[in-house]
Amino acid sequence: GEDFGPHSSSERNSPVYYTNPVLFAVTWILMLLCQEAVRRRERAVDSTTLFLFWLLLVLCDIFPFQTLLRQALSLGEVRDIPRFSLFNISFGLEVIALILSAVADISREDQELIKKNPEAGAAFISRITFNWFNSMVIKGFKQPLVQEDMWELNEVETTAHISESFQQHVRSELGKARVRFQKTLKKRVVKNALQEETSQTGFTNSMSKGVSQDVLMMEDKKKNKDEKKKKEEKSYPSGWLIMSIYKTFKWILIESAFFKLLQDLLAFVSPQLLKMMISFTQKPSSYDWEGYLYAVLLLVVALLQSLFLQQYFQRCFVLGMKVRTAIMAAVYK
């Protein structure tokens, strides 16, 4: 039967009483799945997904936290002590979880590797701000850097790994290109045979009609020119190099395009926030917290734009170096 409210036999409960617990349950199930995925990932020191989850959860819970706190201060007492206590305990645990998720969890086996390459042990915040590179900058400021000061590359960024992956895609795409080229050659042979047959028929008809020698010589020159042009046509399969490069580095290309798209979208957000802030100053009846909110959002949008743009440029530079490394390794192999 239907679930009706306690005050009236015809009044139903609000859907929020059902959707809110369901959303909470689904959210926590997804969080547990993310945690399990991180646990199974090799040499994982943190989880970007978990950090963003705790960050968004803390930001969303700030509003009910300040509401409960302001009500308690204005009334001088806490009316709903169980709810107030449980929410504050939950909010405190969320803040602790956020702090812990921002710290890299490095195992003893990976400590030696991290000494050779600090990027392998950098947490999410350190990676997006390039904080792991500060020690190299400081060392370069104090003294000139030499080859011994350089860190080792990640395994996926070494020439051996890049060349092996690139060669696999080259073999695959080159095989497909050869199949396409063979089909094109067969069509070309059939077409040439038909053209020769047509030209011979035309030559016979011309002789029977008594065409002059000059006309026949012009046709022979045209035929020789066409044959020369056909010889100059491509005699090797093409179109495989671009596809090989794309399939080898498609993920970093997609990531760079995604960050650039986010940065471009945020460029349209700042003018809208500025417009809302101007409207706020023209309305004396507006609440003060709206102005603070707009100011904070302007700062956050500017920071996000800078972060996304830096990530975009970093991936573009890495992509260019990887493509050059793959091609040079293939040429001089």
* pLDDT tens digits, one per residue of 297-325: 999 999 999 999 999 999 999 999 999 99
Distant-in-sequence, close-in-space partners of 216: CB < 8 Å, separation ≥ 6: 203, 206
Hey, CA dihedral for 308, 314, 316, 319, is it positive or negative? negative
pTM surpassing 0.75?
Answer: no
Distance CA 142, CA 234 (A): 57
> Would the pLDDT of 60 be above 60?
yes
- Closest residue by Cα to residue 254 from 303, 308, 309, 316: 316
Distance CA 102, CA 47 (A): 9
Distance CA 136, CA 142 (A): 10
Residue 46's pLDDT is: 66
> Would the pLDDT of 142 be above 60?
yes
Residue 227's pLDDT is: 58
Distance CA 56, CA 69 (A): 20
* Better-scored residue on pLDDT, 266 or 229: 266
CB 319 within 8 A of CB 257: no
**φ and ψ at residue 45, rounded to 5 degrees:** -100, -20
3-state secondary structure the chain: CCCECCCCCCCECCCHHHHHHHHHHHHHHHHHHHHHHHHHCCCCCCCHHHHHHHHHHHHHHHHHHHHHHHHHHHHCCCCCHHHHHHHHHHHHHHHHHHHHHCCCCCCHHHHHHHHHCHHHHCCHHHHHHCHHHHHHHHHHHHCCCCHHHCCCCCHHHCHHHHHHHHHHHHHHHHHHHHHHHHHHHHHHHHHHHHHHHHHHHHHHHHHHHCCCHHHHHHHHHHHHHHHHHHHHCCCCCCCHHHHHHHHHCHHHHHHHHHHHHHHHHHHCHHHHHHHHHHHHHCCCCCCHHHHHHHHHHHHHHHHHHHHHHHHHHHHHHHHHHHHHHHHHHHHCC
Q: Calculate what percentage of the chain has a pLDDT beyond 70.
A: 77
CB 166 within 8 A of CB 241: no
Residue 234's pLDDT is: 54
Residue 5's pLDDT is: 47
Residues 3-44: tens digit of each pLDDT: 444 554 455 667 777 787 888 888 888 878 877 776 666 666
